[in-house]
Structure 1
């Protein structure tokens, strides 16, 4: 896989040593057990896969290269490059301005742009309407497009099945940048509708089976279906694609539920279901799968708590928190600063996005066993900072440098 030129400020000697060691010993990525870092009084278990994915590193490389190659020019981002506060802040410090917030609210009017400006498309992609608007202003989009290749894969797959007459059901968060972009691309080729979760899916299935009146669809899915969507015709033949950062198991469950609804409605079986339902399992992002599988493997370890590091508005990170919370006390933080002391942690509720302080989050045990992972948009340097901060609460711990040397020498 391609190696990207990512700024050293996002790298970590410790995490690099861990990842290199795992890569040597598990080239096929089949071992999802965590890596134990025995610091003495603190045992850190790092997930097998975590941190920057291919799409994020690609976006960061393009963004920083663009800044270096365009001195004196105004450089804009359509919205956040990725859902990580440090990376976005670093770009802003280098003069990059955001045109929209993460929900599409305009911060700087498009009317203020001119053909001499540089506009970066973020890793989530953007809508066809925004692309057309930029091109009409004479602004290049291809050179500064950081859309993740795996997001584009979803678009391409949607287009392929659209040519065969399938409508598209998108499993995603309706307000998320990636879902809005995928909906735009899919609906340009075929009817499309968005389902947020299994609850939405169950409702949609009722329109497939005829359990609900067709006219009720337009209220139930208001704002989430394409122009001209005809519920009496456009749910007869469907395929499911996803926002790539969703829980893979959720997307699979949604696809299976709708597949069964089609079987029931049209009296089909496994041999002929393709007449009505397209197999789109290949749109699931490899990094999402790997990171989630790694968390499942990590949770087999007997531990006291889990810490998940990443941006609070990061979908893929939130899903890692969701998985951890099913088995263990879990704390969602975006930086080492949230570790206020050995007795206090400032952490985020992944559902409400509200922060709170929890006391006595570290048990009085020796050793304390902590599981750690991070989202696909979280720099390894931040994970190292979190580990380093934890070690300050246990002065007798060995140092991070000593641990990195041990890993390199073994």
Structure 2
């Protein structure tokens, strides 16, 4: 796999060494058990897979090269390149301006863009309407495009099955940049509808079977279907694709539910199901799947707490938190500043989108066993810094320093 030029400020010699060692020991990626770092008073269990994925490193390399090659020019990003506050802050420090926020709210009017400006497409991609508008202004969107190749794979697969007469069901968060982009690309080829979760999927299924009246669909799924979508016929043949950062298990469950429903409704079997339902399992992102599977390996330990590091608006990071929360106290933080003291931590609750302070978050017993992972857009250097601060709070600073020295 290609190696990218990523600024050293995002790298960690310690974590790079650990990852390289695990890769050498497990070249086929079959071992999802964590790496134990025993520092005496604290034991860190480091997830087998975490941190920057292929798409993120690709985006960072393109963005920083773009800045270097276009000195003196105005450089814009359509929105956050990735969902990580440290990376986006660095880009802003280097003069990059954001045209929209995560949800598509305009921060700088498109009318202010000139043909000699540089506009970077974020890793999530963008809609065809925005691409066409920028191209009409003379902006070469393909030149500074950081769209993740695995997102583009979803778009390409959607186009392929659309060519065979299938409609598309997108599993994703409707307001997420990637889902908006995937919906735009899919709906340019075929009727498309978005479902956020299994609950919405079950309701959608009732329109396929006729359990719900067709006219009710247009209100219940308002804003989630393409122009001209006809619920009475457009889901007679379809496939399911996803926002790549969703829980892979959720997407698979949604696809399997709809597949079973279609088989029963049309009296089909495994041999002829393709008449109505397209196989799109090959669109699931490897990095999302690896990071999520690595959490199951983490949770097989007898840990006390989990600390997950990443941007609060990062979908893939949120899903790691969601998995950990099912088993033990989990603290979702986006910087070392959130570790307020040896007894207090400020952490994000993704359910209500608020930060809370928890006191006495460490158990009194020693050693404290902590699960550590991070989202695909989180720098390894930040994960190391978080571990460093946690080690200090547990009186294991010297041991952590010795560990880092051993990887130099």
Q: TM-score range by the shorter chain?
A: over 0.9
Q: Does 1:237 align with 2:237?
A: yes
CA deviation after TM superposition for structure 1 residue 395, in Å: 2.7
What is the rounded CA distance, in whole Å, between the counterparts of 2:393 and 2:262 in structure 1? 57
1:168/1:186 contact within 8 Å kept: yes
Q: Partners of 1:217 and 1:326 in 2: how far apart?
A: 33
- Deviation sequence 1:351-406 (CA, Å, 0-9, x none): 22200000000011111100000000000010000001011113345443421344
Asked if residue 38 in structure 1 is aligned to residue 45 in structure 2, the reply is no
Name 1:75's counterpart in structure 2: 75
Q: State the alpha-carbon separation in 1 of the partners of residues 74 and 29 from structure 2.
A: 42
| Partners of 2:292 and 2:396 in 1: CA distance | 33
Deviation string 1:93-149 (CA, Å, 9 cap, x unpaired) is 100000000000111111111110000000000000000000000011111000000
Instruction: Check conservation: 1:247, 1:288, Cα contact below 8 A.
Output: yes
Q: Shift of residue 407 of structure 1?
A: 5.2
Q: Relative to structure 1, is the Cα distance of residues 404 and 26 closer, same or farther in structure 2, using a 3 angstrom cutoff? A: farther
Q: Paired residue for 1:12?
A: 12
In the alignment, does 2:250 pair up with 1:277?
no
Q: Secondary structure at the match of 2:289?
A: helix
Match of 1:172 in 2: 172
The 5 A counterparts of 1:144-293 are 144-293=144-293
Q: Is the 8 A contact 1:56 1:376 kept in 2?
A: yes
Deviation at 1:301? 0.5
CA drift at 1:199: 0.5
Would the alpha carbon gap of residues 25 and 155 (structure 1) be closer, same or farther in structure 2, given more than 3 Å must change? same
C-alpha deviation, 1:276, in angstroms: 0.1
SS at match of 1:239: strand
**Matches of 1:112 and 1:200 in 2, distance apart?**
39
Partner residue of 1:322? 322
Q: How does 1:19-168 map to 2 (within 5 A)?
A: 19-168=19-168
Q: Distance in 1 between matches of 2:61 and 2:150?
A: 17
Q: Evaluate the alpha carbon distance shift between residue 404 and residue 249 of structure 1 in structure 2; reply closer, same or farther with a 3 A threshold.
A: same
Q: Does 1:376 align with 2:376?
A: yes
Q: For 2:172 and 2:45, how far apart are their aligned partners in 1?
A: 31
Deviation at 1:30, TM superposition (A): 0.5
CA apart distance, 1:350: 1.6
Q: Is the contact between residue 207 and residue 231 of structure 2 (CA under 8 Å) also seen in structure 1?
A: yes
- Residues 1:392 and 2:392 are matched in the alignment: yes
Q: Secondary structure at the match of 1:52?
A: coil
For these two proteins, the number of residue pairs brought into alignment is: 408
Q: 8 Å contact 1:40–1:397 — kept in the other structure?
A: no
Asked if 2 retains the 8 angstrom alpha-carbon contact of 1:14 and 1:401, the reply is no
1:302 Cα deviation (Å)?
Answer: 0.6
**1:305 equivalenced with 2:305 (yes/no):** yes
Secondary structure, counterpart of 1:36 in structure 2 = strand
Residue 55 of structure 1 aligns to a residue whose secondary structure is: helix
Contact map agreement 2:338 2:347 (CA 8 A) in 1: yes
CA contact 2:247–2:288 (8 Å) conserved in 1: yes
Contact 1:179 1:243 in 2 (8 A): yes
Contact 1:167 1:234 in 2 (8 A): yes
Where does structure 1 lack aligned partners over 5 or more consecutive residues?
none
- CA separation in 2, counterparts of 1:121 and 1:241? 22
- Normalising by structure 1, what TM-score? 0.98
* TM superposition score normalised by structure 2: 0.99
2: CA distance, partners of 1:87 / 1:346: 21
SS in 2 for 1:318: helix
The answer to whether the Cα contact below 8 Å between 1:207 and 1:217 also exists between their aligned partners in 2 is yes
Which secondary structure state, in structure 2, belongs to the residue aligned with residue 65 of structure 1?
helix
- Cα separation, 1, equivalents of 2:172 and 2:64: 29
